[in-house]
Amino acid sequence: MKLRTIIVDDEPPARKRMKRLVDAEEDLEFVGECASGSEAVESILRHRPELLFLDIQMPEMSGFEVLQAIASEDLPMVIFTTAYDEHAVRAFETHALDYLLKPFKPARFKQAVRRACQHREDQDASSAARGLLAMLAEHSENDEQRYITRLTVKEGGKVRVLKTEEIDCFESAGNYVVATGRGEDHVLRETLTALEDQLHPQKFIRISRSGIVRLEAIKELTPLFKGDYAVVLYNGKQLPLTRGLREIEKALRFS
């Protein structure tokens, strides 16, 4: 019996290539492809596939969030397709059936398919995916405890409470940091590096030695001269960018 298979990837060329590889495998039956996480959840619940080729990095809803949304006792076997480097993949590879590191070769795809087929007779084939869900839940809880959501600052004899989600950027000022949000500047008595370790890396990014910005506050990246760029915020503020442009673009895409 063939394994009913769904492909999930937000990039059309990647889905097209993956479909060709799936169609060439006699042990796989293609039942659908999805371009987004929300579409994937609907398709998985409707078709009940046995095998899922799942992209991790997708806008709006990641591959991890897709699995959390369909959490059940009959999860499909999951083969991740990811552009993460191999060291990052090691954090979760033991919880998934397999993973394909982009760009992967057809021979590596066949190896992953063979592994799926070997699990076909296993009555607990979805245990790896359930283990992944448990790991994600644990990591999510730890993240909430690790990263700050509020800051306190003394101003005029009072202690102001600032929500980090309302701060557009942080700029270094010697041994102090100026936090800008809602049209106001606030001086924090700590260094930018110390503050960076407390901010959620999927919500804030350091763009230079002297600046950290909230990803949702970025309006555009504008060229200056000689290949340099500046980060323009929705509040009109413009900050120099010394970090790699591609790294910032990637962070913006998956924030």
Chain mean position to CA 18:
21
Which tokens is 75 given? 């999860």
Q: What is the pLDDT of residue 122?
A: 60
* Tens of pLDDT, residues 99-154: 888 888 999 999 999 988 887 766 544 455 555 555 555 555 555 556 888 998 88
77 C-beta neighbours (distance < 10 Å), count: 24
Which ranges in the chain are annotated with CATH 3.40.50.2300? 3-144
pLDDT at 20: 96
In angstroms, the CA 237 to CA 30 distance is 49
Contact residues for 71 (Cβ-Cβ < 8 A; gap 6+): 133
Nearest-angstrom CA–CA distance, 153 and 144? 22
Peptide bond into 12 cis (omega under 30): no
Distance of CA 25 to the CA centre of its chain: 30
CATH class of 150-253: mainly beta
Kindly report, residue by residue over 62-71, the tens digit of the pLDDT. Answer: 888 888 788 6
- Residue 255 pLDDT: 60
Strands 51-55 and 77-82: parallel
Domain with CATH 2.40.50.1020 in the chain: 150-253
pTM of the predicted protein model: 0.52
Is the confidence at residue 200, as pLDDT, over 90? no
List, for residues 20-55, the tens digit of each pLDDT value.
999 999 999 999 999 999 999 999 999 999 999 999
CB 122 within 8 A of CB 102: no
Give the confidence band of 19 by pLDDT, cuts at 50, 70, 90.
Answer: very high
Q: Give the span between the Cα atoms of 170 and 180, in whole angstroms.
A: 6
**Pick among 3.40.50.620, 3.30.70.2860, 3.40.50.150, 3.40.50.2300: CATH of 3-144:** 3.40.50.2300
